[in-house]
Structure 1
Amino acid sequence: MSWDTELTALVTRIADPLFARPEPRQAFADLVRALLADVPRKNSWQLADHIGHATAHRFEHLLDRAKWDVDALRDEVRSYVLAHLGRTDGVLIADDTAAIKKGEASVGVADQYCGLTGQVENCQVIPLLTYASDAGHAFVNRRLYLPEAWAHDGERRGRAGVPEYMAFRTKPQLVIDMLGEEIAAGTPFRYLCADAGYGRDPHLRAFCHERALGYVMAVPVDLPLAAVRGGAEPVGHVLDRLLAQGTPQIWERRSCGNGSKGARVYDWTAVAVAVAEQAPAPGYAHTLLIRRSVNAPSEVEFFLAHAPFGTAVTEVIDAAGMRWKIEENNEHGKDLLGLTQYQVRKWTPWHRHVTTCMLALAFLAVMRATLPVDADEAADKGKDRPLLEASSC
């Protein structure tokens, strides 16, 4: 089946129950196709011009005033991704991206930290969940972070169409909300992966412990661990003691997956730990993974793994290496599909634009999964690998 035939079948299947009238149904199909096209700037006017509309009014109406359920579209995106990419050993990856904006009218925009530039910018922050497996990866859920200044400003919320029930939620709390939706939907995943901005949050970790969910999340150097002689100590002290032993055998060099430049090889070690005042789920244990750059040994990153007893450390290292896949989704979503190139300002149009982009990205991921696998890549996936056993320190 050609990609054009597959896209038509996908959009028709989703649009028929989503829209009561043929006009928004056709506008939706046109918008998805335009997002997938080679359009330099993917705002409504340029997308409309590419598809052959005289004006952007049909797209603007679809995103703003037309009556349809954007969460139903989100559910369809998830179902499509899982039908083609879902695996029992899949992972969910949490991260946020930013859309730099001008002015103060766009919903959720504020002076806040922007990961794109590493500094404070006037931007919107978008927490996202990616589903990833050996078959591929794509977004399955999204939120718009509403800063406290917005959450408590009724007049501003009203102008942007923010629903009255929306209260202030931190970014980790938004990820918890999305995780709850994935659990309710039956999304099959073995681990949650995230960077230290989420791994440091005790509430997110507690949510996983209470529901016996595995995770492999980066954590900051000052994360408190239970010390051997009582009290607490920061994660960094564990590495200090390992290095003080002076034995190079503590490191094992291995790949945690392939990136754009080939295998992503690091030195790794693993230590069984206890997190201060936070026990793992029954039948689970905490392991601290320490990753060291091969070319710059002073560059070290820490990961906290929450996994069932007896889990091979190679498995959690592989999970740690999956985190970069959401960065690829962010890059492709922005550069190829206009994820943050919208000109909408209100709550509902924002969610509709972003979720439609998620559908376009999911389509690309599924089509990529149907391509023949390179023989060398397939052989590399099948290689037996030694186990790196966790030890206590």
Structure 2
Amino acid sequence: MLIDVAPEHVEGWAEELASLTAGLGHLFARPEPREVFADLIEGLLSGLGRKNGWTMAERAGHATPHRIQKFLGEASWDADTLLAEVQDYIVGHLGDAQATLVLDDTQVIKKGSRSVGVAHQHCGVTGDVRNCQVMVMLTYAAERGHTFCDRRLYLPAVWAQDAGRRRDAGVPEEIAFATKPELGMAMLRGAIDRNLPFAWVAADADYGKDPALRAFLHEWALPYVLGVPVTLPVAGPAGKPHQPAVHKAGDLLHYAIARDQWERRSQGEGSKGQRYYDWTWFDVALPGQQPADGFAHHLLIRRSTKKKQLAGGRVDFEYAYFLVHHRRNAALGEAVCRAGVRWKIEENNEQAKQITGLGQYQVRRWNSWHRHVTCSMLAQAFLTVQRAQHPDAGPEPGPEDCTAADNAPGHGDEQGKGGRTQEMSACR
């Protein structure tokens, strides 16, 4: 659910915003960048249809965008120091020991070849291959709200290995090629080092299929719900001695169907109301990867409540697969809820692009990119905090959205099999 920001809300928050930007003035050595910083954050939160250097400069009363461009490109300040302040602000207002950290990437379509990291690569925004930049993002999803808390720019191999392009874009020498899951691990490691309070990690199959990311989460004994492809090798379920030792995850669907132990639960609220699916899970093992001490692995399968028209004209239920790494006393309901929390980062992607100018930058260099994106994250975090503090702006969906239901219709779907109804533990 997007934060729906009316002009009167932003006007009412002017004092809080001024206090926030003034409190971060110590990041800048001179008065001018402090002033431009405040102008920039206000511009990112304004009702401007397009939030680039020209429009925000005009709004701030600058004759040209030079001051904003200089602030993002040449002024003496550190984007990572601002990021630490953003994280402190998020934890100070939304901090929750039961929060979920959610990994995903998003793209910004670009022309030309000079903007740092731009390449002809897969673009999830359009579902095809095109010229774009890819940013790997981390969302902090808590009971009171959810917002971005970290970011990494993906540098494709064609960039990482091109000394001339790196030099022209100001890419630091220590930055080497890293996969998207590796960038995700770096952000999770940063969250651990900074003691961000959280309980679970969630991500889609592009991250769930990566064994190094899973190993990292096992090493740190972190519960997770990761989407996985049907080809993921798994062993199990237990008690089936005649089964092959190792399967693909999708091969276990026949076992789930034969067992027929599905529970209808909401995965959270969507644009049309609660998103109900049928769910089942059972214990599995990962060949060559042990869970953390006191943990277990389960394969969680989600089934649509109605048959649908699938690729090739086939009509059948639609299935999705998740690998759950959890403490042994965890319940199905909590795993379902955490799987639903993953969609919070999709909402943050949409919100940041529509409201706080995440992808509307006109910068090409490494340093400028990180500065703009971090400022956009601060603006988004401010909106999230204000929404949490001002109920008249409308509540964010809470953990009660992830509930069990007997015969829940869910978008007009058919009546479900009556699975067990159990109280959800609070989860974010």
Taking structure 2 as the reference length, what is the TM-score of the superposition?
A: 0.86
Query: Does 1:337 pair with 2:347?
Result: no
Q: Aligned equivalents of 1:131 and 1:240: distance in 2?
A: 36
Q: Which residue of 2 aligns with 1:60?
A: 69
Please state how far the C-alpha of 1:380 moved relative to its aligned partner.
5.0
> 1:270-289 to 2 correspondence within 5 Å?
270-289=281-300
For 1:94-133, list aligned pairs within 5 A.
Answer: 94-133=103-142
Offset of residue 387 of structure 1? 4.0
| Residue equivalent to 1:262 | 273
Q: Write out per-residue CA displacement over residues 298-335 of structure 1, whole angstroms, 9 at most, x where no aligned residue.
A: 21111111111111111111110001110010001111
Aligned residues of 1:63 and 1:352 also touching (Cα < 8 A): yes
Match of residue 177 from structure 1: 186
| Corresponding residue for residue 417 of structure 2 | none
Q: How far is the alpha carbon of 1:271 from its aligned partner?
A: 1.0
Structure 1 residue 24 corresponds to structure 2 residue 58: no
Alignment partners' CA distance in 2, 1:125 and 1:60: 22
Aligned match of 2:311? none
Q: CA offsets per residue over residues 146-204 of structure 1, 9 Å max, x none?
A: 00010010011000000001000000000000111000000111111000000000000
What SS does the corresponding residue of 2:136 show, helix, strand or coil?
Answer: strand
Structure 1: distance between partners of 2:194 and 2:90: 13
* Residue aligned with 2:267, SS: strand
**1: CA distance, partners of 2:33 / 2:285:** 54
Are the counterparts in 2 of residues 312 and 387 from structure 1 also a CA contact under 8 Å?
no
Q: How many aligned residue pairs are there?
A: 384
Give the residue type in structure 2 aligned to 1:284. F
Q: Is 1:292 the counterpart of 2:303 in the alignment?
A: yes
Q: CA deviation at 1:259?
A: 2.0
Equivalent position SS for 2:26: helix
Q: Distance in 1 between matches of 2:226 and 2:207?
A: 7
Root mean square deviation, CA, Å: 2.1
Structure 1 residues 383 and 102: CA distance shift in structure 2, 3 A:
closer
Asked if the contact 1:194/1:216 (under 8 Å) is kept, the reply is yes
Q: After superposing the two structures, state which structure 1 stretch, 80-89 or 155-164, moved more.
A: 80-89
TM norm structure 1: 0.94
Look up the match of 2:345.
Answer: 326
Q: Which residue of 2 aligns with 1:231?
A: 245
Contact 1:313 1:387 in 2 (8 A): no
Deviation string, structure 1 residues 95-125 (Cα, Å, up to 9, x no partner): 0000100000000000100001111010000
| Partner residue of 2:376 out of 352, 357, 381 | 357
Give the secondary-structure state (helix, strand or coil) at the position aligned to 1:94. strand
The DSSP-based 3-state class of the residue aligned with 1:143 is strand
Distance 1:175 1:379 in 2: 25
Q: Does the C-alpha gap of structure 1 residues 380 and 200 become closer, same or farther in structure 2, counting only changes over 3 Å?
A: closer
Deviations 1:38-64 (A, max 9, x none): 111111111111221111011001000
Q: How big is each residue's C-alpha offset from its partner over 1:58-104, in whole Å with a ceiling of 9 and x where there is no partner?
A: 10010000000110110111111111111111000000000100000
Distance change in 2, residues 1:117/1:58 (3 Å): same
Shift in CA distance, 63/382, structure 1 to aligned 2, threshold 3 Å: closer
Structure 2 Cα separation of the partners of residues 169 and 378 of structure 1: 35
Contact 2:200 2:223 in 1 (8 A): yes
Q: Kindly indicate whether residue 82 of structure 2 is the aligned counterpart of residue 73 of structure 1.
A: yes
Of all paired residues, the percent bearing the same amino acid is 51
**CA shift digits 1:207-258 (9 cap, x unpaired):** 000110111010000100024556311001111222245x4xx111111211
Structure 1 position 243 matched with structure 2 position 257 = yes
CA distance in 1, matches of 2:276, 2:46: 35
Give the partner amino acid of 1:277: G
* Residue in 1 that maps onto 2:198: 189
Q: Are the structure 2 counterparts of residues 234 and 36 from structure 1 closer, same or farther at C-alpha, using a change threshold of 3 Å?
A: same
Structure 1 moving runs of 4+ over 3 Å: 227-231, 377-388
Q: Cα gap change, 1:12/1:113 in structure 2, threshold over 3 Å: closer, same or farther?
A: same
Structure 1 residues 382 and 305: alpha-carbon distance in aligned structure 2, compared to 1, 3 A threshold? closer
- Structure 2 alignment gaps of length 5 or more: 1-10, 308-315, 406-420, 424-428
Could you tell me how far 1:295 is from its partner in structure 2? 2.9
Amino acid at match of 2:270: G
Q: 1: distance between equivalents of 2:388 and 2:269? A: 16
